[in-house]
């Protein structure tokens, strides 16, 4: 579902439930992070919103972080073919051309996805909006050389990049605000 972007003033005034609903798709199938991020309001700018989500993930236990990584779909995987991706993931995969792969490219993605699951027990997560098909392939091959810990850190870093872009889509830049002496003030 496409959401209408809100101004900072509007999102700062939302109830916790409304905030959670508006930002529920920021982290794949994990709206509880939106509820945690809501506690950081009021936000002075969109980067503070993104930082609140990053802090919510970083503060979580390692097992929950692995669940968050596993909530992400395989790139050009079965969920994409079956039309079962979240609206956000479907749009992002389309933006990188992953819906228009040649049979050879599709087969390569299937090999890479299988290798990821075998080696790490995780999907390969990358911010596709900041990459091309070629850099996505190259990154997957390179990251297959990671240790389990390195790969989990890389996946969480990429999830942060994905979340930031999704947040930018949901927040309308309007009046600027700034923190001064612990208070939020508007800049004309």
Catalytic positions: 72
Report the half-sphere exposure of 19 (CA within 13 A, side-chain side).
25
Euclidean distance between CA atoms 105 and 136, whole angstroms = 11
Nearest to 40 by CA among 14, 66, 21: 14
What's 73's DSSP letter?
Answer: P
Is-contact 75 117, C-beta < 8 A? no
């Amino acid at each position: 579902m496409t959401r209408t972007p809100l101004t900072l003033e509007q999102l700062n005034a939302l109830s916790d439930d409304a905030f959670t609903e508006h930002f529920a798709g920021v982290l794949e199938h994990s709206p509880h992070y939106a509820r945690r991020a809501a506690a950081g309001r009021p936000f002075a700018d969109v980067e503070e919103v993104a930082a609140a989500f990053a802090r919510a993930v970083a503060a979580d236990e390692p097992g929950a972080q692995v669940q968050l990584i596993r909530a992400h779909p395989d790139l050009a995987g079965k969920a994409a073919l079956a039309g079962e991706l979240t609206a956000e993931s479907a749009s992002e995969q389309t933006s990188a051309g992953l819906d228009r792969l040649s049979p050879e490219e599709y087969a390569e993605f299937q090999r890479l996805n299988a290798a990821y699951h075998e080696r790490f027990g995780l999907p390969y997560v990358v911010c596709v909006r900041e990459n091309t098909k070629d850099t996505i392939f190259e990154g997957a091959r390179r990251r297959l050389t990671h240790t389990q810990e390195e790969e989990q850190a890389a996946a969480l870093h990429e999830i942060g990049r994905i979340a930031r872009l999704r947040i930018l889509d949901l927040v309308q830049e309007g009046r600027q605000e700034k923190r001064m002496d612990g208070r939020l003030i508007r800049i004309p």
